[in-house]
Amino acid sequence: MDALKTTVVLLVEDDAGDQKLVKKALANREMVNKLYVVASAEEALEYLQRSKCGDVKSPRPNLILLDLNMPGMGGKEFLRRIKADDDLCSIPAVVLTVSDAEIDIYETYKLKAAGYVQKRVSSKEFQKVVGELAKYWFETSLLVKS
């Protein structure tokens, strides 16, 4: 269980309010050692490229939490790119989105997302869902260590 205490999470989220809610929800999980936040898929790809080069300021994430609808490159294109990269494809990416459209759910799983979570209307509900998500990924599921 001690190995799980060094978990690195990359949050790809353009909304400052949602960033804050995720940070707060994960702050209550003692096994999350580092949370890195980027505001776009483009920034996330840059972060991941730096991590591949061994940049200590950009450690390889064990889990990516991904907003689906962002300006510029969206979450689906981001998934397409990381899942096509042999060095990144093993990192689980869980989508956090407001969309409940069947096509989004289908396409996201087809692109090998590890999960699809709809953002709740209230901040309290959203924090609860993120907490449950953290409990699963950090206490139940085994993650690939870098």
| Cβ-based burial of 74 (10 A; exposed 0-12, middle 13-18, buried ≥19) | middle
Q: Can you say whether residue 104 is alpha, beta or left, with left for phi > 0 and alpha for psi between -120 and 50 degrees?
A: alpha
Q: Would you give per-residue pLDDT tens digits along the chain (146 residues)?
A: 444 457 889 999 999 988 998 888 888 766 667 899 999 999 999 999 999 999 999 999 999 999 999 999 999 999 999 999 999 999 999 999 988 899 999 999 999 999 998 887 687 888 888 888 888 887 777 666 65
Its pTM stands at 0.89
What's the Cα-to-Cα distance from 135 to each of 10, 110, 118, rounded to whole Å? 16, 25, 17
- CATH number given to 2-140: 3.40.50.2300
* Domain spans in the chain, listed from the N-terminal domain onward: 2-140
Residue 130 near residue 97, CB atoms below 8 Å:
no
pLDDT at res. 3: 44
